């Protein structure tokens, strides 16, 4: 038999990426399914009407949830397992016809969106801009900033065109930090990102590090990168904020990130700044504000590559507030999500959960 579920306003029934066999029918209240339109990148808020079902496709297909199910007002639902829902639909053929109509409309919409996307010319990837910014800091011997940016590149683009070179540059930045410190030592020769990308597309290895991690000289006639010239004003402002954060100037960084996030002239950097605002709040020990910020971020940016990291910061903030059970819940959610077993955030969540469980036993 299905079970009744009660959810308070501003809670989340399930997150995008969750795996579950639960199917829901709305009995009262308001639920919004939030996801990103694959054609234009806009946030979609689909309101569920009383008597409608949701969570069906992912439960029946046994694949991760495609959206966040956000509770807008106090809500009551009927919760079915897949076998229970199958029995229910057998006795209610009207439900089957409604499901077929909904799924048919969704398939037509997705098919049209995919066609539109394929017709669009390939735009210049922000991946290049991120790589370029890391090269700028590395070239100017600002190693700590270069470390942060190349690590962010590998988070956003783990299988990117420049991932191998970004790993080398990250290693160079880490080595130079330990050996020389920021602003000191020789300036590494950094190959221009556009030439790196072109070489990768052609199957080459432009800019590959030589023996001892030393960057080889550029090809005759090629000039070293002038990455700063390629950055937009939003990108420059963002990496200035990154610099403030890396220096421990969290209040100043928060103001800078907020200005970029509110500007919205460059959605790529606006989204990154919004995530980093939460990190600043945590470092300033504003844990309630951290929780509010990252909860909102997860709900409104379900496709962000920073979702898992955001869940970790939520766990950390609840842990700082002494709410151990909620903290453990977020760590467990991270470990239940499909991702690289050796990903840094998974390892951190695993360690944090182990320490909490050991503390409870001791």
- The model's pTM is 0.45
Q: Can you give the pLDDT at residue 121?
A: 36
CA distance 209 to 279: 33
pLDDT for residue 215: 37
pLDDT at 41: 61
For the chain, the first-to-last Cα distance in angstroms comes to: 40
Of 61, 5, 71, 29, nearest to 299 by C-alpha is: 71
Integer Cα distance of 190 and 148 in angstroms: 17
Domain boundaries of the chain, sorted by first residue: 3-119, 124-230
In this prediction, residue 124 carries a pLDDT of: 46
Please name the residues in contact with 300: beta carbons below 8 A apart, sequence gap of 6 or more.
34, 43
Supply 57's token pair.
């496709």
Task: Say what the pLDDT of residue 196 is.
Answer: 53
Q: What is the mean pLDDT of each run of 10 residues along the chain (362 residues)?
A: 88 87 91 74 81 84 84 92 83 64 55 50 60 80 80 79 83 78 68 51 40 32 36 76 79 92 85 91 94 92 85 93 92 79 74 88 76
At residue 116, the pLDDT reads: 53
Q: What's residue 311's pLDDT?
A: 92
Q: Which CATH superfamily is domain 3-119 in?
A: Jelly Rolls (2.60.120.10)
* Alpha-carbon gap, residue 351 to 335, rounded angstroms: 11
- What are the tokens at 277? 């605002």
């Amino acid at each position: 038999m299905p079970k009744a579920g009660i959810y308070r306003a501003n809670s989340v029934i399930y997150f995008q990426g969750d795996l579950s066999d639960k199917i829901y029918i709305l009995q009262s209240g308001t639920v919004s399914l939030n996801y990103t339109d694959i054609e234009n990148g806009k946030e979609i808020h689909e309101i569920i009407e009383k008597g409608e079902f949701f969570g069906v496709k992912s439960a029946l297909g046994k694949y991760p949830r495609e959206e966040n199910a956000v509770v807008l007002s106090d809500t009551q639902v009927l919760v079915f397992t897949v076998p229970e829902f199958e029995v229910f639909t057998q006795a209610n053929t009207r439900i089957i016809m409604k499901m077929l109509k909904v799924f048919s409309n969704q398939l037509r919409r997705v098919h049209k969106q995919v066609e539109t996307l394929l017709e669009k010319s390939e735009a210049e990837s922000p991946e290049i801009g991120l790589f370029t910014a890391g090269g700028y800091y590395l070239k100017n011997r600002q190693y700590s900033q270069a470390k942060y940016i190349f690590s962010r590149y590998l988070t956003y683009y783990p299988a990117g065109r420049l991932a191998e070179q970004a790993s080398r540059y990250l290693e160079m930045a880490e080595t130079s930090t330990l050996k020389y410190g920021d602003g000191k030592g020789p300036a590494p020769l950094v190959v221009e990102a556009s030439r790196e990308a072109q070489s990768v597309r052609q199957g080459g290895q432009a800019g590959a590090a030589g023996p001892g991690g030393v960057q080889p000289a550029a090809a005759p006639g090629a000039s070293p990168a002038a990455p700063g010239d390629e950055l937009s004003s939003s990108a420059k402002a963002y990496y200035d904020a990154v610099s403030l954060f890396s220096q421990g100037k969290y209040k100043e960084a928060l103001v800078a990130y907020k200005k970029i996030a509110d500007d919205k002239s460059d959605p790529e950097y606006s989204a990154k700044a919004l995530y980093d605002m939460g990190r600043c709040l945590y470092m300033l020990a504003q844990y309630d504000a951290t929780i509010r910020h990252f909860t909102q971020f997860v709900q409104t940016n379900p496709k962000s590559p920073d979702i898992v990291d955001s869940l970790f910061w939520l766990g950390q903030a609840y842990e700082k507030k002494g709410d151990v059970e909620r903290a453990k819940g977020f760590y467990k959610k991270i470990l239940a999500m499909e991702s690289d077993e050796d990903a840094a955030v998974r390892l951190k969540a695993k360690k944090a959960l182990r320490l909490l469980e050991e503390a409870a036993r001791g």
